[in-house]
């Protein structure tokens, strides 16, 4: 699986990164570890998965983490995390 994380401010892409997860891990484990890797690459704390994030990710394989998903204060509008390629 491939994942794309983007930091968005005022509808502009500020920074982004891609993470890849292949192997026998479960889909959920791949998602969580890829999000952690993306946050480390972007120098961000890992956000908390709120119910709306889980629901959106299950429905469209994309979640937007806004300020309420972070314990620390953020200086951007949201972090968008999405699947860009599923396992075959």
Angle value at C-alpha 71, between 84 and 3, nearest 5 degrees: 10
Strand order across the 78-85 sheet: 12-20, 2-9, 78-85, 62-65
pLDDT in tens, 11-64: 999 999 999 998 889 999 999 999 999 999 999 999 999 999 999 999 999 999
Structure tokens given for 65: 């983490």
Residue ranges per domain, the chain?
A: 2-85
Radius of gyration of the chain (CA): 12
pLDDT in tens, 53-77: 999 999 999 999 999 999 999 999 9
């Amino acid at each position: 699986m491939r994942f794309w994380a983007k930091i968005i401010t005022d509808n502009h892409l500020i920074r982004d990164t891609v993470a890849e997860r292949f192997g026998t891990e479960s889909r959920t484990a791949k998602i969580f570890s890829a999000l952690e890797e993306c946050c480390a690459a972007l120098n961000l704390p890992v956000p908390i998965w709120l119910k709306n994030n889980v629901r959106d990710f299950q429905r469209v394989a994309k979640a937007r983490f806004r300020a309420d998903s972070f314990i620390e204060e953020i200086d951007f509008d949201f972090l968008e995390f999405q699947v860009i390629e599923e396992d075959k």
